[in-house]
Structure 1
Amino acid sequence: MMVHAQYQSLAEALSERTDKRLFLALPDGRRWSYASLLGEVQERQRLLEQWNVKPGHRVALKLEDSAEFILWFLALLSADHIVVPVDPQAPSSDLERTLSRTGSVWLLDEGQMPRLLADPEGRSSLNQGGLILLTSGSTGDPKPVGLPWHSLWHTAGQVVRAHQLRPQDIGFSPLPLFHINGLVVGVLSAIRAGSTLIAPGRFHASDFWEVTDAFDATWINAVPALIGVLAGRPERPRHPSRIRFMRSASAPLSAALRRTAESLFQIPIVETYGMTEASSQITANPLPQQGLRSGTVGIPWGIELRIVNKKSEPLEAGKRGYVEIRGPGVIDPDWGPNRWAAASMTDGWYRTGDVGRVDSEGYLYLIGRSRDVINRGGEKVFPREVEEWLLACPDVGEAVVLGEPHAVLGEEPVAYVAPVPGKHLSEEGLKAWAEHGLAKFKRPTAFVIMPHLPRGSTGKVLKNALRRRQSPS
C-alpha cells in the first residue's frame, strides 16, 4: 500500500505504478491498467508540449467523458500544470464566470487542441501543479480555492488510511469529477492505494446496483442526495456482503435516512466531513467493525481540528463552538487565488464556518453553519436540529430550515420541505409533527411544501435559491 510513500511529484508516483492491475474501468467496457495509465499520461504530456502549454499555466478542463477527464487531469497535474475542473454541462454564462474567477489561460474541451483564453505572460504561474476550484456557492458567492499537489496527495493518503483501502479494493465513484470529492476521494485515493476505480462521471439510479454488482465493488463513494434517491427505488444490491461500506460526504446525512438506507441496502454507511478548502476530507468515522457511532462525522485524519469561541480561544470537550482546522491539506492564503482566505485564518487555523462540538474521544458532531444560525428574539435556533426532526417524519423526504426576517423578533425559522415520492404533506400535519418534538421557539412558523428542493451538482441544497423565493405570508 502506498499510504506512507513520499513522492516529490505525481509523475514520480505514477512511474511506480507500472503493473497490470486494473486502475480505471467504465460501465461501457473500457479499461486501463496501471501500466497503460502511464503511457496514456505521457502521450498527453507530449501533446501539451507541442501546444506550448507550459508548467504553471492554468488549464480549464471541460470534458464530458469521465475517462478522458481523468487521463487529462493526471497528465496536467503530473506535469505541474494548474487544473481548473469545469462542469461540462454548465451554461455559457457560468463557464465564463468560472474561467474569469480562476484566471484560466487555456480551455481544453471536446476539440482537438486547447483554446488560448489569455496571454500566459500576463498571468502568474505557480511553483507546483495543483487545482483551482470554486466553492459550491450553496450559501454564498463561489470563491476560487487553490490547492497545490502536495495538499491533494496528503489528503488522498488520509482517505486511504481512514477507509483502510487496499490494492484489492474496487471503488465505485459516480460523483462529478469537477468537484474535489470525485478527484481526491475517487481518483487520487485509488492511485495511493493502488486499487481500482469505477468512475462513470455521472450518477444513474436505474443501473446503479447493476454496475456495482457487475464490477464486484467493495466500497461506494456517495452523497446524501444519491443515497436518498436509491432508497426510494425498488432495486437492491444482489451481493451486499461484498461491499465493505458506502461513504457519505458533501452534505449532512440525516439520521433517519441513514437508518433507512442501511436497512434497505444492508451496507454500513460511513459518514464523513470535508470541504474544498481542506482538499476534501477532514473527518471520517472509523470503519464499522471498529464501532460506528450515530450522529457524528467521525474523527480527524491527518489534520488538526479544534472548537473555539468567537475569539478563537479553544473550548473544552463537549462545548459548542466554531470549527477550526489546520494541516497540510488546508487552504494556504499565500498560494494561488487564496488571498481571500486570510480573513478566516488565525495563527494558521482556518475557520470552516461550521458550528459543532467534539466529545472526549475526539469525535466531531456538527450542528450547522454559523451563518445559518437563526436568532429568534434572543433564542438561538440551529437549523440542522429542526431539520433532523422534520426528516424523522415518515412522509418527509427533504427538509431545509432558513431564517426569515421578522419585524419584532429579528428572525423566525421557515421550513422548506418535499415529500417522500408517493406521499402527501400538509402544513397542518407538519405543524403537528413539529409540536410533537420541538420546543416552541424552534418550531417553524411556516412550511413551504415543494415537489423537490433545488440542489447543486454535489447534492447540496441551494439555499440561496430558496432565499430568493418570495417569503411565505
Structure 2
Amino acid sequence: MSHPFLDRFKLFGDADAVVFGNTTTSYRDLIEVVEDWRAYLTANGVGRGDVVTLEGASSLQTCAGLLALIDRGALVIPLTTLPDAKRAEFLEVAEAETTISIDDAGDRHLARTGRRAGHELYGRLREAGRAGLVLFSSGTTGRSKASVLDFEKVLARYGEPSRPNRILSFLNLDHIGGVNTLLHTFSQGGAIVTVADRSAESVFATVARHRVEILPTTPTFLNMVLISGVLDRFPPQSLKLITYGTEPMPLRTLERLKKELPDVRFKQTYGLSELGILPTRSKSDDTLWLKLGNTNGFEYKIVDDVLWVRSDMAMLGYLNAPAPFDEEGFFNTQDVVETDGEYLRILGRRSEIINVGGEKVYPTEVENVLLQVPNVAEATVSGHPSPVTGMVVRATLLLAEEEDEATVLRRVRRHCKERLEAFKVPLIIEISADDLHSDRFKKIRSAR
C-alpha cells in the first residue's frame, strides 16, 4: 500500500476491522482485500483522476473499494441502490465515466458510460493529483446538489490512533456522516460494524451481538427505536455513546431516550456534505444546546440568526449549483440558530420555517408538542399555502396504535391549543400509515 492513511493498517494487525453479517475481517485481511481491489482497478484500466461510482450497501467490499479508489487517486461517487431515474440523474450530473456496483453476494460489476468528465472542479483535482469525493445532498427540500471535496483534505482531519472503538456504520457511504464514521474508525484501529438492514430490530440485534460501543444515527431513527420497543428485546449493554445529527432532535425524544438508556451518553453532532463534520460538545446529555469547535480547521459566525461556517476541508464547489461562500470563505448553512453565551441551539433550516401571517413557526417546536400527545408515535410539521395568511401549519402524524381518527384529531387539537400560540396550532392534521422519513432516516418536509 502506498497511501499514508492505509499504511497505518499494518499497525493494527489481527484486530477486528470490519464486521459484516456473521463474518469478521481483521486489518491484516482487510489489507489483502484492498490489494485485490487495487489489482481489479488496474486490470480494468481505472486510473488517477477517473470519475468512478461505487454503488452498493455497506459491506466489506464497499469499504475496501472506497479505500482502494482513494489510494488510486480516483474521483469517487459513493451511491446506494437508487431508482433507475434517480441513478441516471446522478450519473449525468456527476459526469461519471465508470460505474462499479457491488451486489448482495459481494461480486463487482464494472461498466463504462462513454462520458469524459470535463468539469472545472475535476480539473483542479486532476491537476493537483489528488483523490476526490462527490456527495449528493438528500434533496428533501429540492433538487439534490453534488458537492466535490478534496479527499486529501478530508483525510487530514484524522489524527494518530488513540482510542479504538466498535462503531456501527448506520449512515451509508453516500453521506458525509457515513464517510466520517468509516474513516474515523479505521484511523483509530477500531472495528466498523455494518448492517444490511437498518430497521430498529436489526440495528439493536447487531449492537447486542457484536458488542457495539458507539452508534451514530439520526433523531428520526431514534424515535423509531422508542416506538418499536426493541430496547426490551435487545438491551444494548455494550453501548457507551449515541451520536445524533442530520436534523434537529425533538427534546421530548431526547428525554425519553435518556430515561430508557440512563447509562448511555448522548452527543449532538453537526456537519454538512459541503463542510465535513465539525467538532461539537453538548452542554449536557438532556439538552439540545451545543458548542461548535472554533478550532481544528473550523470557524463560524452568525449573521441574522443564520450559521455560517468556514472549514479547511470545505468542498471545492457544487457540480450543478453556485456555491454559497462569502468573500471570506464562510459557507451559508441556511441553519437558523439561537445563542446562549458560547452555546448554540439549531432551530432548523430557514427554508423550513413556516410564515403564518408574518409570524415565524419552527417545525421542531410544534413537533415536540405533538410528540407529547398520547398515541402519537411520530410527527412531521410543514407549511401549507393559505390565501389568507400565506401559510398555515400542517401536521402529519403516525400513530403507535390504530385508533378512531376523529378521536385522535380532537385530542391533538386540544393539546396543542393548551400549549401553543394560536398561529402555531396545526390547522391541517393528517394521519398517515406511511413512513415520514427518507431512506437516510431524515424527516421529509415540503409545503403543499
The TM tier, using the shorter chain, reads 0.7 to 0.9
Match of 2:186 in 1: 191
Q: Distance in 1 between matches of 2:259 and 2:163?
A: 29
Q: Distance in 1 between matches of 2:253 and 2:36?
A: 45
Match of 1:340 in 2: 321
Q: Distance in 1 between matches of 2:117 and 2:248?
A: 43
Alignment map for 1:116-131 (pairs within 5 Å): 116-120=112-116, 124-125=122-123, 126-127=125-126, 128-131=130-133
The number of equivalent residue pairs is 431
Q: Distance in 2 between matches of 1:323 and 1:463?
A: 21
Q: Which has the higher strand share?
A: 2
- Of 168, 181, 184 in structure 2, the residue corresponding to residue 172 of structure 1 is 168
Q: Distance in 1 between matches of 2:417 and 2:157?
A: 43
- Of 136, 139, 142 in structure 2, the residue corresponding to residue 140 of structure 1 is 142
Aligned to 1:227, the other structure's residue is in SS state: helix
Q: Distance in 1 between matches of 2:326 and 2:71?
A: 30
The C-alpha deviation readout for 1:109-133, integer Å capped at 9, x for no partner, is 1465521112447565423112101
Match status 1:327 vs 2:311: yes
Match of 1:68 in 2: 61
Match status 1:102 vs 2:94: yes
Aligned to 1:26, the other structure's residue is in SS state: strand
- Of 438, 442, 445 in structure 2, the residue corresponding to residue 460 of structure 1 is 442
TM-score (norm 2): 0.88
The C-alpha deviation readout for 1:434-473, integer Å capped at 9, x for no partner, is 1111111222222122124432121112224xx45xxxxx
Alignment map for 1:67-466 (pairs within 5 Å): 67-88=60-81, 90-110=82-102, 112-120=108-116, 124-125=122-123, 126-127=125-126, 128-155=130-157, 166-184=162-180, 186-236=181-231, 240=236, 242-266=238-262, 267-279=264-276, 281-286=277-282, 291-292=284-285, 294-300=287-293, 302=296, 303-309=298-304, 321-333=305-317, 337-338=318-319, 340-360=321-341, 362-421=342-401, 426-464=408-446
The C-alpha deviation readout for 1:126-173, integer Å capped at 9, x for no partner, is 23112101100011110101111133224555xx9xxxx944411122
Q: Distance in 1 between matches of 2:365 and 2:191?
A: 38
Unaligned runs of 5+ in 2: none
119 and 400 in structure 1: CA distance in 2 versus 1, 3 angstrom threshold: closer
Q: Identity rate of aligned residues, in percent?
A: 21
Q: Distance in 2 between matches of 1:175 and 1:424?
A: 36
Q: Distance in 2 between matches of 1:35 and 1:195?
A: 13
Aligned Cα root-mean-square deviation (Å): 2.6
Q: Distance in 1 between matches of 2:322 and 2:153?
A: 16
* Alpha-carbon shift at residue 24 of structure 1 (Å): 2.8
121 and 103 in structure 1: CA distance in 2 versus 1, 3 angstrom threshold: closer
The C-alpha deviation readout for 1:391-421, integer Å capped at 9, x for no partner, is 2323222222222222232222222222234
Q: Distance in 2 between matches of 1:329 and 1:169?
A: 24
The C-alpha deviation readout for 1:161-215, integer Å capped at 9, x for no partner, is xxxx94441112233232221121x210112222111112431433433321222
Unaligned runs of 5+ in 1: 1-8, 310-320, 469-473
384 and 234 in structure 1: CA distance in 2 versus 1, 3 angstrom threshold: closer
Q: Single out whichever of 255-264 and 201-210 deviates more from structure 2.
A: 201-210
Q: Are the counterparts in 2 of residues 146 and 331 from structure 1 also a CA contact under 8 Å? A: yes
- Of 51, 73, 95 in structure 2, the residue corresponding to residue 58 of structure 1 is 51
Q: Distance in 2 between matches of 1:80 and 1:23?
A: 26
Q: Are the counterparts in 2 of residues 403 and 412 from structure 1 also a CA contact under 8 Å? A: yes
The C-alpha deviation readout for 1:63-86, integer Å capped at 9, x for no partner, is 246111111011101221111111
TM-score (norm 1): 0.84
Q: Distance in 2 between matches of 1:64 and 1:209?
A: 18
Letter in 2 for 1:101: V
Q: Are the counterparts in 1 of residues 132 and 150 from structure 2 also a CA contact under 8 Å? A: yes
